[in-house]
Structure formats: structure tokens, C-alpha cells
Amino acid sequence: LEGLSIKTISKIGGLHQLLGLHEYGFVAVPRDSIQCLPEANGTNKLGASFETPCGRLLIKPVEYMEMISSMKPELWATLADEVPAWVSDKRNKTSVDRTIKWLDECIVSSPVGGAVFGAIVGGSSLEERQRCAQEVARRNVSAGYWVGGFGLGESMNERPALLNAVIETLPEEKPRFICGLGLPAEEILQGVAAGVDLFESTYIYHLTLGGFALTFPLDSMEINASNLASSDVGSDLRKINLRATVFRKDTTPIIEGCTCYTCQNHTRAYINHLLNVHEMLAQILLEIHNTHHFLGFFRSIREAIKAGRFEEFRKKFVQSRCDHLAVASLDVGFSQTRLV
């Protein structure tokens, strides 16, 4: 609604023709986590409200379906009334009622082509999450389920119960797709353990924007705690900050043995230079590496699931992070003692 008109995109032939990406699949979800988070207070019975760079927009189901019809994505999720974790029980119930109503409206005006993911909301209420999941499952949507409303204020401790309340209600043969979760140990592995199949995340985008590069091990989660204290400056065992001066003369790649274009052709010192002179190539090279590494992380997850050792993989990954944080806190305490 902020860019090319719907009619223009439709005349061109959809996103594939517009962007020239004919061999790629597109998924449309009613939330742009980078810029356009849902605005619960602005949403009403007519449609969902979003805060965007151009101001607040109210998108009605009929407008949303016109957008879907013009873009022609392979997968699309129905319009949802997403609410943050702190809203009242009444507002939670209303969000579920609206989402189910909009689901019916979207299905009725569904375009030809494209598989439908039914939206599931419910905030931080187990009962409303289950009710919404039951109602959406009853509609027998064609492709699967889009679990919305996460990454909007719920704590990491309460998330497993909310995820389980939804996943256990849905048919096993259809995929579950989720927005808003991206941290490898704290969110992705938690989602996979609950039964989530697909993730939409802005984690890589924000990581790259900050000048960070992913460095956590993919093949083996066995990490010697005694070596953690000597890891890269600015590292939390998951990523390194390539803006740090320690990398100014570092002629090694981001990760030794990484097969991405960035690591095969450039050094930490070069990317450090590009970042510090605000050259846009820095973000391109970083995003290439981070995307490659993150996809490798998901490949490791799939391999662990196939081998029947996902829980072992998950525990080792989380434990290695906890060990590193513990060692790092001891180092800080020791340094403070020496200063005193």
C-alpha cells in the first residue's frame, strides 16, 4: 500500500515478474517485523492497524485479499488481529473473534492459486490460543497454520506453554509457520521443540545492521569451557562485533572453513574497515555470511532430528551458551577486583 499500486503489480504479473525472481517462492504474511509491527490499539472490527514509516494504516480483509491477488505469492497467511502479551482478557478474546471472522472472509474471497495458512492468535492466554487453534483447524485451511502474536512481549518462560497449547491442537500433517522468533538458542530451538516447522525472522537483518557476524559452531556443540575466556573480544559465543578495533589487523576470515562467498574472499580486517568508513558493501558481505551460517544452523537441526538426537543437540547448544556467559561474568568480576 506504500509502494507501487496494487493494479500496477497485478498488470506486471505479480512479484515474480516485478522482481525477476522466477525460481524463488514468496510467502505473504500480514506483518512486516522490520518496519510495520501491528498496532493493537488502532485495530477495530473493520481491519488490522499497522504503524508504518508513512503513518498508521488500517487494512481491511478485502484490501488485504486484493494485495494477495496482485502479488501472487505461493503461500499466504490470512489477516490477523495480533495483540501484545499485556492486553486484557477481553481484548484477547476480541482478537480471536476478529481473526476467525477475517479468516472466513479471506477464504471466501481467496484468489486462484497460492496455498492458505490460517492465522492463529490469542496473546498470552492459553485458553484463547487453544480456542483459536481449534476454530482454525476446523476450517480445514489448505496449506497449514500461521501462528501469530509471538515476539510481542511474552517472556521466554511462558512461551513453551503457549506454543504447546497451539501445536497440540493442530493436525500433525500440516506445517506450522511462526513470526517473531529468531534467537538461535532462546527462540528457534524452543520453537522447534514445540513443533514449529517454518520461521519468519528479522534476526539476520538486525544482526547485520549492528555489524555482528554469526560464529557459533554448527557441527559440534561440544565446547571446552576452559577456552571460552580466550574467545574473541566482543563475542558472546554466538556472534562477534566486527566494528571492534581488535579486528583491525585480523587477516583471517570470519570463520575458518566457512564456504560462504564472504569468508572465501574477504577478511575480518576488510569488513572492519568497511564498517568503520560506513561503506554499504559491509552490510552486503555480512548479510551473505550471516544468512549462509543461519541456514547451516537449520540444516544441523534437520540432521539432528533425522538422527533422533534433537534433544541432545538442543541441550548442548543451550548449555554451551550458559557456560560461556558464566565464564564471561567471572572474567568481569576478576577484572573489577584487580581494578579495586
pLDDT confidence of residue 195: 94
Please give the domain boundaries of the chain with CATH numbers for all domains: 6-199 (3.20.20.105), 206-332 (no CATH)
User: pLDDT 10s digit of each residue in the chain, 340 long?
Assistant: 777 888 999 999 999 999 999 999 999 998 877 777 788 888 999 999 988 878 888 999 999 999 999 999 999 999 999 998 899 999 999 999 999 999 999 888 876 667 899 999 999 999 999 999 999 999 878 789 999 988 888 888 889 999 999 999 999 999 999 988 888 988 999 999 999 999 998 999 999 999 999 999 887 544 443 343 344 555 567 899 999 999 999 999 999 999 999 999 999 999 999 999 999 999 999 999 999 999 999 999 999 999 999 999 999 988 877 766 565 555 545 455 555 5
Residues with Cβ < 8 Å from 125, sequence gap 6 or more?
89, 92
Which pLDDT value is given to residue 234? 55
Return d(Cα 103, Cα 117) in angstroms, integer.
Answer: 10
- The cell numbers describing 48, all together, are 488490522
Give the integer Cα–Cα distance in Å for 165 and 195.
11
Contact by Cβ (8 Å): 150, 179: yes
pLDDT at 223 (0 to 100): 41
**pTM, whole model, 2 decimals?**
0.85
For 93, other C-beta atoms within 10 Å of its C-beta total 17
Q: Give the closest residue to 68 by CA, choosing from 21, 128, 109, 123.
A: 109
